[in-house]
Chains A and B, each alone.
Chain A
Amino acid sequence: MLEFSQQLINGLSLGAIYALIALGYTMVYGIILLINFAHGDIMMVGAFVGFYSITLLGSNIVAAMIFAMIACAILGVVIEKIAYRPLRNSTRIAALITAIGMSLFLEYATIFLLGPQQKVFPQSAFPLQQYEIMGLLITNKDIFIIVSAVVLMIILQFIIKQTKTGKAMRAVSVDREAAVLMGISVDKTISITFAIGSALAAAAGVMIGVYYNTVNPLMGIIPGLKAFVAAVLGGIGLIPGAMVGGFVLGILETFVSGYGSSLYRDAVAFGVLILILLIKPTGLLGKNTGEKV
C-alpha cells in the first residue's frame, strides 16, 4: 500500500510535466488545427533562457521563468509569422511538415550555437526539500510542478472562457471567415495564441531544467512527443483534456515500470493508449462532433 501510494506520487509528478507541455500543444491545435511539432523545442529554448538567466544574470528561479516566458512568447509569435502564416491557406500537411522543419531548425541551430553537450542547471537555484508524510516521500519540486500545472490550467481555462481575447480565440476556432466578418482580427488572435502557448512551453522548460538538473538541445523531443500523445489521449483541443491525458500517461508509465517491467514501459504504455483511442477516437474527454477532420 505504501509502495502503491509512493508510485502514485511518482506518476503524478511525471504526469504533471507531460500535462504542462500538453497544455500549449492543445491550445494551438484548438485554435488553428495545427499540430505544432516545434512546441517541444520552444520548451527547450525556454529551458536554455532560464539556464542562462540564472547562471549569467544571477536571477532567481521566478525571474528566470518570467524571462523565459517573455523570450519564448516573442519566439512563438515570430515563428508563426515567418513559418506558419504564409501557409495558412494551404493544405494541412504542408503546415505540418513546416512544423517538423521548424522543430529540426530549432534543435540544430541550438547545437550549432551552444554545442551538443548537456549543461548542468545550478542546484542552488531551487534547493531540494524533502517531506516525509506517513512513510511517503515527497519533494518540494514535486509539489511545485503539480501545483503550477493545475494553476496554469485554471488560468488558461479562465482566459479562454471568460475574457474577450478568449472569446475571439474560440470564434476563430469555430469559423475563421465568420469571425472576420464579426470584426475579429484573425492575425492578432492567432499571434496571441502562439504567444500564450509558447510562454507555457517556456515555463515547462524551466521547470524541467530545475527538476532534472540538466538542459540539452535535444531535450524537447521525447517530452514533446509524449505531451502530444497526452494531448491526443485527453482529447486534443481541450484544455482539461491535456491535463487528464498528461496525468493518465504519467501514471500509466509509472505503474508499468513499478508493477510490470521497466523493460516494456513504453511498449505497454503506448499499447494501452492505442486501445483507448480505438474505443474512444476523440480522446478521453472528447465529444463525437463528427465535424472538421
Chain B
Amino acid sequence: MKRRSGRKLAMLVMMTFVLSILAGCGGGGSETQDEQINVGINVELSGGVASYGTNSKDGMMLAIEQINAAGGVLGKQLNPIIKDCKSLPDEAMSVSANLVGEGIVAQLGPLTSGNVQGSTSVMMDNGIPLVAPAATAVNVTVDEKTGDIMDYIFRVCFIDPFQGTLMAEFASTNLEAKNAAIYMDASSDYGKGLAKYFKETFEANGGTIVTEEGFVKGDRDFKATLTKIKGHNPDFIYIPGYYEEAAPLIKQAREMGITAPIGGTDGWDSSDMVAVATAENLNNTYFTNHYSSQDTDPQIVAFVEAYKAKYNGKDPDSFAALGYDAVQLLVQAINDANSTEPEAITAALATIKDFQGITGKMTIDEQHNPVKAGVIIEFKDGGQVMKARIQP
C-alpha cells in the first residue's frame, strides 16, 4: 500500500514536470518569435582572452541598445542572449548548440579564430549564420584544403595577410619608398602570410624588395641580419611579427644607425614596445590596425563618445568597434532580406555592398571576407598617433 502510493506520487510529479516543460517551451517560443528577434552572443567572458570577449560584447550591447531605442529592426526589438564560451573551442560549440535551441536567428562571436572554428560545425549543421567580429585567420570562412566556402560563416574584420597589402600601399604611396627590405617572423603563418602580401603589392606598385630575411620566435639577437640589411640601404623595412621580437629588433636597428622608416602589424600593439625599444628609437615606425579611437571621422567620434558615456569613460578598442560593426552588419542583412529567417539573412549577408561601419566601409566578397579599409598608426615620442586610413 505504502509503496503503491509512492509510485503514484512519483508519476504525478513526473507528469506535471513534463507538462510544465512542454508548456514553457511552446509559450516562450511563440511569444519571442512574434515580438522579438533572438540574437545569440557567444563570446569569451572568462578564460585566457576574456578581455577580447568582454570588450566586444560591450560594443555589441551598445549597438543593440541604440537600435532598439530607434525602434528595432522590421518593427521588432533585438533580444540578445549572452553566453560565455570560456575561451575554449569545445565550449564555444556547446554554447552554440544551446543558443540554437533557444531559437536564435544568428550568432555573433566568438572572438578568436580557434573559438569560431569550434562553433562552426553547429552553425553549418543548423543553417544559422555566424558573424565573427575579429577572427582574422584565412581558414575561418574557407576550407583551405578544398577551397569550399563555409556557407554560414561571415566576418567584419579583414584577414591577416591583408595587413601586408595595407602596409605596402602606405610605404609606396605615403612614404614613397622604392627599395624595401622584409625581415619577417618566419616561425609563424602570420608573419609569412603578411610578408607575402606585402611583397606582391609593393612590387605591383613598382617597388623592389632588396632582401627577404627571417627570425624565429624567441630570438633576441638580430645584429647579423640587420648589418646585412643596412648594407642594402633600403628606404623602408617591413617587420611582420609580434612585439616580443619586434621591440628588441627595432632597438638594435636604431642603435646601429639604421634610420629608415620601419613598418609592422597589429602584433606590435603593446605597451612593451615603448618600454623595450624606447620612445626615441620608435620614432618613424608605423603599424597597421583595424581602427583607431583617435580617428576624426564624425561617425567614429560619435561611437567613441557613446561608448565612453555608457562604460565609465573606457576607450573602445578594436574588439569593441568590431563587435559594434558585427551587430550593425547583421541588422543591415535583416533589413535587406526583409525577413528574420536564417536562410534569408545568410543570403543577404553574402551580398552586402558598401556597408558603412565604424571600422570602415565594407563589401562582402565571395569568400565572405569584407573588402575594407585599415588604419596606419605611428609611434610618436612614445605615443600612438593615427597616421592614415588606407582604402585598398
Contacts and interface: CB of A to CB of B under 8 A. Distances in A.
B151 to A, nearest CB: 38
B214 A6 contact: no
Contacts of A118: 244, 272
Contact of B224 (A7, A120, A123, A214): A7
Interface in B297-352: none
Contact of B272 (A10, A120, A253): A120
Interface in B196-244: 212-216, 218, 220-221, 223-225, 227-228, 231, 244
Contacts of B215: 262
Nearest to A2: B231
A254 interface: yes
A6 B220 contact: no
Nearest to A208: B220
Contacts of A7: 224, 227
| Interface size class of chain A, counting residues whose CB lies under 8 Å from the partner chain | 20 to 34
Contact of B276 (A208, A214, A254): A214
Residue of B223, B225, B248 ringed by the most chain A CB atoms within 10 A: B223
A123 B214 CA distance: 27
Interface string A4-18: 001100110110010
A263 B186 contact: yes
Interface stretch (B79-87, B166-174, B250-258): B250-258
A254 B224 contact: yes
Interface string B277-305: 01000000000000000000000000000
Contacts of A14: 221, 223-224
A88 to B, nearest CB: 34
B228 A213 contact: no
B275 interface: yes
A259 B221 CA distance: 16
Nearest to B257: A137
A212 interface: yes
A120 B275 contact: yes
A182 B232 CA distance: 65
Residue of A6, A130, A139 ringed by the most chain B CB atoms within 10 A: A6
B224 A258 contact: yes
9 contacts: A10-B223, A11-B224, A13-B223, A212-B248, A214-B220, A218-B218, A222-B218, A254-B223, A262-B213
Given A11-B224, A212-B221, 6 more contacts: A6-B227, A120-B276, A128-B255, A137-B257, A139-B255, A262-B215
